[in-house]
Structure 1
């Protein structure tokens, strides 16, 4: 990488402190990004929401958090991840302050759209963390920083209890306080990354010409999209189908998100040592099989949860494998590639809740939406097999 900093010539402690704070900052941002899912029952009662409105509300933050990953990733490469991270955390405070004040579903959607910017922290974090580690360690390092996704699990674990014990508004005062604390810690203790100030926006956008960018985006659409959409949909499924209380459903959602996140560095570590595309084929097979189990067990809560856990483990492992390859697509443009891949992955979490809500409105069932997941996993497996397994194209040589 043009701006790669060798870990041997930098202060090792500084590098790991930077990695740790970037990860914690992403956790806090992801808590805000996913704040509506654990509170879905409260919101449905407060605003008298239908299933379609609830799924729209869950999907809305994902939209802006996905499409804005591209420009935010490019800005991180050009101006520095520390600056962009701090500006992002200050911006997130705006919708967090708004949400307790809104009294209509329309304004709640506006706040949901704005809080979606918290999802762009992924593009900043990966760009910022990647420059402190050499290529042979980047699979593990990027897997660690990507554990910031655990913010979804932390939100599911904490926010329902805060709402029940202290009131709905207290949830947002809590998130505001966390965001301010992390912004201050980041400002004081983190060092700005080296940047190439001669880099142009058009030069960064050139990564869109790389076929590898789009293949990784397709695969991440499946794996990360599963992480986002199932973290949001699990409380809805458990509440509507099995009558599970909101706090308990939030615990199951946290279990899913936590497993999906914790295993991500394992996927990155494995991809440091094995051919990534060979690993991905087993991920796609596993996703298809566990999704099929979910589809067939909507009348058995234990088997349904087994399927949810299985999908979380396999998808999380696949997320780590995919991001091992990101720094190899275009040297010096890791943030830009991350933006594109992350945007498509985020959109993979945007569309499924909408489709599931629409199909539920038509059929009264959730199973048809899960069937589409099975078919999409098979499609990704075919593309992977055709292009990389039995083809002669490689991203990581």
Structure 2
């Protein structure tokens, strides 16, 4: 639970810009494309950074890395509180991306405590730390309204320091954990040259990438598409993230019971159908809300299943490295959608095309991974 809490506050920090996007756009007269770039920068940094962070976790252990990372992430959060130009916001957003690397720390840290047949659910519970995105969507705009933007950032920075201290004092690596041997490059190479790593990375790029993109951009999408206030849009987006987060351990649990491959297939098919449905919803009526929340559940189950497969199929000394690569792919999958959303809206004054592109991408990935799963001979017989 300590690792889940640490992940939550890091994801809270990682998602700070999204709930305040419309305010920044108004204050700095940002175009949709400029706003998309600002929101996307922490995503790409947090994604690519998962690769070295995963390697470092295999070598130095999750307790130490999680603690130091939380303290470091507090620095750009404080910088954001002081930033007042687009250039300084971009610079702070680059460093803010380090908070997003935290996911790659906790997977090997948690997996080492459980046997393979129980890792799916355990990693799903850890993945519930994604709720930090929902916390950000709910708390950040309210703190900004009641107090001001600076207070919202300082509260998040304080939370990071609290959990950094807690992890340093109370965290423990698993009794059977041993530092990985060999150079960082050799361990990373073993992960990179494993085709299963890239198969899972492709799926995670869709499921987690869409989750990240919606968590960051959904407040702006709902505000523009349905005329909601900033607070209302951020609250509804937080609900989307909450449903996806709760579904994550469900995906891990189902992976333990019926196989991660089966869960991945169903999640991708559901994503195809539901993304196509929400693309053609002109009003935010009950069916639209149900479709969005169902899409959140599909993405959450898919995320849980992918991480369960990583924990089950990876050798203990490579879990961090493989998680880093898979996690980076998922985060990068969340980098491009905000840019596509901003570009397509600027060109068409609608987000429908971008949502249809998500459906088409999920369909292509389903076809590929279905064929790959049929060819694979693994311990997971989904």
Structure 2 residue matching 1:333: 3-state secondary structure: helix
Aligned positions, number: 377
- Asked whether the 8 Å contact 2:42–2:95 carries over to 1, the reply is yes
Matched residue, 1:304: 288
2:101 aligns with one of 114, 120, 126: 120
Extract unaligned runs of 5+ from structure 1. Answer: 1-19
- Aligned positions of 1:97-112 closer than 5 A: 97-112=78-93
C-alpha separation in 1, matches of 2:102 and 2:232: 28
Q: Deviations over 1:330-381 (max 9, x none)?
A: 3121001100000000011110000111122222221111111111111011
- Asked whether the 8 Å contact 2:211–2:299 carries over to 1, the reply is yes
Per mean C-alpha deviation after superposition, the further-off stretch among 24-33 and 303-312 is: 303-312
Matched residue, 1:222: 206
Per mean C-alpha deviation after superposition, the further-off stretch among 187-196 and 140-149 is: 187-196
C-alpha separation in 2, matches of 1:41 and 1:325: 38
C-alpha separation in 1, matches of 2:302 and 2:63: 28
Matched residue, 2:178: 195
- Aligned positions of 1:286-297 closer than 5 A: 286-297=270-281
1:184 aligns with one of 153, 165, 183: 165
TM-score (norm 2): 0.96
2:266 aligns with one of 271, 282, 300: 282
1:155 aligns with one of 126, 131, 136: 136
- Aligned positions of 1:266-281 closer than 5 A: 266-281=250-265
C-alpha separation in 1, matches of 2:217 and 2:73: 23
C-alpha separation in 2, matches of 1:195 and 1:167: 46
C-alpha separation in 2, matches of 1:245 and 1:107: 27
Matched residue, 2:247: 263
Would the alpha carbon gap of residues 102 and 155 (structure 1) be closer, same or farther in structure 2, given more than 3 Å must change?
same
Per mean C-alpha deviation after superposition, the further-off stretch among 200-209 and 374-383 is: 200-209
TM-score (norm 1): 0.92
Extract unaligned runs of 5+ from structure 2. Answer: none
CA positional deviation for 1:394: 3.1
CA positional deviation for 1:200: 2.0
C-alpha separation in 2, matches of 1:172 and 1:318: 31
- Asked whether the 8 Å contact 1:78–1:199 carries over to 2, the reply is no
C-alpha separation in 1, matches of 2:77 and 2:370: 44
Structure 2 residue matching 1:296: 3-state secondary structure: coil
